[in-house]
C-alpha cells in the first residue's frame, strides 16, 4: 500500500497536467491526495475557488484513487463562504490546500483565519506549501506562527522547506519546537527535500535527518508526523512513471538501510497519511 500525500492536476508553469497523465506517473500508488493547480499556479488558466475545486471533485469521482483537497484563495476572497459550502456539501474533500507563495500572501496574515476556523470546525488537515526559510510569504516560521493560533488544526509543511540543507535544518528546529512545547500540530511531507533540479539526491540525507530528528525527540517518537509525498507531476524528477518508481524505490531502500524498520517504512508510506486524514 502506498499513499502519496501531495500530488496535483491542472495547469502550471511546470506543464499542463491531466488526471490521466498524473495517474500514468503514479501507477505504484494506491491513493493520492490531490489539489488543482488551476486554482494555484494556473499559468493563464486561473479558476476561482468554486470552479477549481468542483473540477477537482469531478475528477476524483471519475478516478477514486485521487482524494481531493480544496484549494483556498484567501488573497482574493473576503470570507470563507465558498469553501464552507464545498465542505458542507461534499464531504469528499479531505483537507485544505494553502499556497502562500503563489498567492503572495504572508502565511501569518489574518486573512487565513476564517479558513483555519473552517479546518478546525470540519476537522480537516491543511496542506501548506512551505517555502524557503527566508520567504516573506511561505517560510515555515510564518506558517508555524499561524499554526500556533490554531493548535487543534493539523498543519502540514509540504516540502518541509524549500532550499538547501540549512533551510531544512531550521525547519526541523521549528518542528521540534512545536513538539517539545506542544505549541502547534505540525506534520510534514518529504516532497522536494532531497530533490534538486532534475533528479533525486540518492543519499536522501536530509530526509533521513528529518526522520532521525522526529524519532528521537524529548517527547518520544514523533515520526507519525511524516508523510511520503512527491508533488507529482511538478518537478522534472516526477515527469515519468519510471522516474517516480525509481525515487520511491530509493526512498524505501534508504529507510530500510538506515532504520531497519519495516513498520516505520509502512507508516511513512501510508499509515501516517491514512491516520491523519481518517480514511
Closest separation in Å from C-beta 6 to Zn ion:
6
Q: d(Cα 259, Cα 101) in Å, to the nearest integer? A: 34
Report, in Å, the least distance between residue 204 CB and Zn ion. 19
Closest by CA position to 186, among listed 178, 195, 197: 178
Closer of 37 and 210 to Zn ion (Cβ): 37
Name the maximum alpha-carbon separation found in the chain: 50
Which is closer to Zn ion, CB of 43 or CB of 84? 43
Candidates 54-62, 87-95, 105-113, 230-238; binding stretch for Zn ion (CB under 5 A): 230-238
- Cell numbers standing for residue 23: 495517474
**Which of 49, 55, 189, 231 is in the footprint of Zn ion by CB under 5 A?**
231
121-135 in b/e form (b: 16+ CB < 10 A) is: eeebbbbbbbbbbeb
* Closer of 55 and 231 to Zn ion (Cβ): 231
- Provide DSSP, 116-175: HHHHHHHT--EEEE---TT-TTT-HHHHHHHHHHSTTSEEEEETS-SSSHHHHHHHHHHH
3-class DSSP state for residue 95?
Answer: strand
Closest CB to Zn ion among 223 and 230? 230
The residue range among 10-18, 106-114, 149-157, 225-233 that interacts with Zn ion, by the rule CB under 5 A, is 225-233
Side-chain-side CA neighbours of 137 within 13 Å: the count stands at 13
C-beta of 98 vs 179, nearer to Zn ion:
98
Q: How far is the CB of 190 from Zn ion (least distance, A)?
A: 13
Minimum Å distance from CB 40 to Zn ion?
8
Q: Does 189 bind Zn ion (CB under 5 A)?
A: no
Q: Give the interface with Zn ion as residue ranges (CB under 5 A).
A: 231
Amino acid at each position: 500500500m502506498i499513499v502519496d500525500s501531495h500530488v496535483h492536476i491542472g495547469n502550471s508553469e511546470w506543464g499542463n497536467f491531466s488526471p490521466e497523465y498524473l495517474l500514468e506517473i503514479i501507477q505504484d500508488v494506491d491513493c493520492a491526495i490531490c489539489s488543482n493547480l488551476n486554482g494555484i499556479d494556473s499559468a493563464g488558466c486561473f479558476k476561482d475557488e468554486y470552479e477549481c475545486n468542483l473540477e477537482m471533485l469531478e475528477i476524483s469521482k471519475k478516478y477514486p484513487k485521487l482524494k481531493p483537497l480544496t484549494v483556498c484563495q484567501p488573497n482574493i476572497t473576503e470570507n470563507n463562504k465558498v469553501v464552507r459550502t464545498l465542505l458542507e456539501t461534499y464531504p469528499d474533500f479531505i483537507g485544505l490546500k494553502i499556497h502562500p507563495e503563489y498567492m503572495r500572501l504572508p502565511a501569518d496574515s489574518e486573512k487565513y483565519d476564517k479558513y483555519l476556523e473552517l479546518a478546525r470546525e470540519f476537522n480537516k488537515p491543511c496542506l501548506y506549501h512551505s517555502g524557503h526559510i527566508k520567504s516573506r510569504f511561505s517560510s515555515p516560521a510564518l506558517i508555524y506562527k499561524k499554526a500556533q493560533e490554531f493548535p487543534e488544526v493539523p498543519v502540514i509543511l509540504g516540502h518541509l522547506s524549500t532550499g538547501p540543507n540549512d533551510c531544512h535544518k531550521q525547519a526541523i528546529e521549528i518542528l521540534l519546537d512545536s513538539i517539545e512545547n506542544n505549541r502547534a500540530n505540525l506534520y510534514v511531507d518529504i516532497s522536494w527535500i532531497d530533490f534538486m533540479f532534475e533528479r533525486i539526491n540518492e543519499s536522501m540525507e536530509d530526509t533521513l535527518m528529518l526522520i532521525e530528528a522526529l524519532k528521537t525527540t524529548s517527547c518520544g517518537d514523533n515520526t507519525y508526523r511524516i508523510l511520503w509525498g512527491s508533488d507529482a507531476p511538478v518537478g522534472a524528477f516526477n515527469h515519468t512513471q519510471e522516474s517516480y518508481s525509481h525515487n520511491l524505490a530509493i526512498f524505501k531502500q534508504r529507510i530500510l538501510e538506515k532504520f531497519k524498520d519495516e513498520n516505520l517504512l509502512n507508516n511513512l508510506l501510508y499509515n501516517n497519511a491514512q491516520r491523519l486524514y481518517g480514511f
